[in-house]
Amino acid sequence: MQSDYRDNSWDNNSFDWLRLFGRNLPIVIFLLLAFVGMGLTYWFFSPPEATAEMIANSSSSSLSAPFYKPVPAKPVLQRLAQSPGPIRIGLIAGHKGSDSGAVCDDGLTEAEVNLNITEKVAGALLAQGIHADILEEFDPRLGMYGGTAVISIHADSCIFVNDLATGYKVAASSRTESSQLQSCLEAAYQQATQLPYHANTITPHMTDYHAFRTLPEGVPAVILETGFMNLDR
């Protein structure tokens, strides 16, 4: 009898591979689904090409932007005392540009006396290197005047009352601290004129003088009644 000499090794190998594949089919399916899922996720969340380029450029510019570290502000200490500005005195010639003020029987007016004294004071200040502005009674510059101080110069009545109607008086602004200016002026004027201080005739028109309410706050101001136009002439 002739023996069957055919090679059955290929059939056996094929059967073994199929059996191995069958046993590992769940793993193969899992890996296949995993790769497909990763591909879909990448495709879904990846921006279009133009958008990706914009993001890349933006990221590049952000990374190359300069880094600023906030530094807390520190107060600057002034080692040397600041020198004061030049002295500038405003001199109001009482009633100038407004009315005559008191009038004497001989025609002398208070406005004339006030202006005469104001001009002499301005000249004396200028001789000392101090700038002085001669202002009218209701000068439009008063509301914005930024001088060192303001002095309003007036004279008292020309009517004879009695022998006690003589002397000078000073009233200071209540809006801005002016007591130092008042004290200085009182002492200097008394020494220069030897007139008595006539405090009991200070009127509300002096203490509530209109210029005190018009001047900017911070400008010391006083009103000076230089004397009576009768006995002190």
Q: How many domains does the chain have?
A: 2
Looking at the structure, tell me whether residues 41 and 134 fall in a common domain.
no
Considering the domain boundaries, does residue 79 fall inside one? no
Q: Which pLDDT does position 25 carry in this prediction?
A: 56
180 occurs within a structural domain: yes
Q: What is the pLDDT of residue 2?
A: 45
Mark whether 99 and 192 lie in a shared domain: yes
Are 202 and 104 in a shared domain? yes
- 47 and 135 co-located in one domain: no
Pair 20, 103 in one domain: no
Q: Do 136 and 25 have their domain in common?
A: no
φ, ψ of residue 206 to 5 degrees: the values are -85, -45
> What does the angle CA 166 – CA 172 – CA 174 come to, to the nearest 5 degrees?
145
- E-strand ranges in 37-147 read 88-93, 131-135
Task: Note whether residue 154 is domain-resident.
Answer: yes
Torsion on CA atoms 53, 56, 58, 64, rounded to nearest 10 = -140
Predicted local distance difference test score (pLDDT) of residue 165: 92
Would you say residue 15 lies in a domain?
A: yes
Specify whether 113 is located in the same domain as 160.
yes
Same domain, 105 and 176: yes
Q: Which residue has the tokens 């100038």?
A: 96
Q: 55 and 94: one domain?
A: no
Looking at residue 85, its pLDDT comes to 75
Q: What is the pTM of this model?
A: 0.65
- Nearest partner of 93 among 110, 69, 76, judged by Cα: 110
- How many C-beta neighbours within 10 Å does residue 139 have? 19
Q: Where among 59, 74, 101 does a domain terminate?
A: 59
* pLDDT at residue 56, as a whole number: 54
Do 95 and 208 lie in one domain? The reply is yes
**Structural domain for 224, as ranges:** 88-228
pLDDT mean for each 10 residues of the chain (233 residues): 47 55 57 55 53 54 54 62 80 98 96 98 96 98 96 96 94 95 96 94 93 96 97 91
Query: In the prediction, which pLDDT does 94 show?
Result: 98
Q: Which residues contact 113 (CB under 8 A, 6 or more apart)?
A: 155, 226, 229
Q: What is the CATH number of the domain that holds 113?
A: 3.40.630.40
Is 66 inside a domain boundary?
Answer: no
